[in-house]
Amino acid sequence: MATLKILIFPDPKLRTVARPVKQVDDSIIKLTQDMLETMYEGDGIGLAATQVDVHKRIIVIDISNEKNDPIVLINPKITKVINEEIKSYSEGCLSVPGIFEELERPSAVEIKALDIDGKEFTLVAEDILSVVIQHEMDHLEGKMMVDYLSNLKREMIRKKMIKQRVSK
Ligand code: GNR
Ligand code: NI
């Protein structure tokens, strides 16, 4: 197992649209293991392959307190959006370290994806799981949480990230 380097906003590679996985083979399994290790090391609850500069449609998530309940989603598709209710949640991102912003999203989604065995499954997600899945699926489209903020706020965050990068 290995940890991977996480791209930091405003790295333009974070804007890449990820491509579907053709076959869930050993290299994909190893990648998901490395992504999980990277996510746990960063104290994250989700990670999209985009964030580690791999532009394939793969997401890992673990919202358990014990960090022992990993979920792998390959080629995920949102098949239903419960749009009647919009909920606000304070979101963070491993690619925008130290920034937390309240964002509004549909409260629940139904997703279809392939698991680590290449088998399709359906997941109905609510609350934090729904938020994280929508956040990660945005990454696969090259979209980030800062895109929902005002231009002014995004610009302040961009400057802060560049300053942090220089001082590291
Ligand atoms: O670790 C993370 N926490 C989080 C909190 C609220 C909403 C979304 C997230 S995802 C984030 C990890 C990350 O950057 N995933 O892309
Ligand atoms: Ni993120």
Residue pLDDT, tens place only, 38-74: 999 999 999 999 999 999 999 999 999 999 999 999 9
φ, ψ of residue 114 in degrees (nearest 5): -95, 145
Atom of ligand 1 nearest to the CA of 135: 8
Is the peptide bond prior to 10 cis by the omega test (within 30 degrees of 0)?
yes
Pocket test for ligand 1, best of 39, 47, 73, 93 (most atoms within 8 A of CB): 93
Whether residue 135 has its Cβ less than 6 Å from ligand 1:
yes
pTM: 0.97
β-pair type (58-61, 71-91): antiparallel
Structure tokens at 127: 């609350």
Residue identified by tokens 């076959």 is 23
Give burial (CB, 10 Å; 0-12/13-18/19+) of 119: exposed
Q: Whose CA is nearest to atom 14 of ligand 1?
A: 93
What dihedral angle (degrees, nearest 10) is formed by the CA atoms of 128, 75, 114, 89? 0
Atom of ligand 1 nearest to the CA of 90: 6
Note down pLDDT in tens along the chain; length 168 residues.
899 999 999 999 999 999 999 999 999 999 999 999 999 999 999 999 999 999 999 999 999 999 999 999 999 999 999 877 899 999 999 999 999 999 999 999 999 999 999 999 999 999 999 999 999 999 999 999 999 999 999 999 999 999 998 786
Distance 43 CA to ligand 1 centre (A): 9
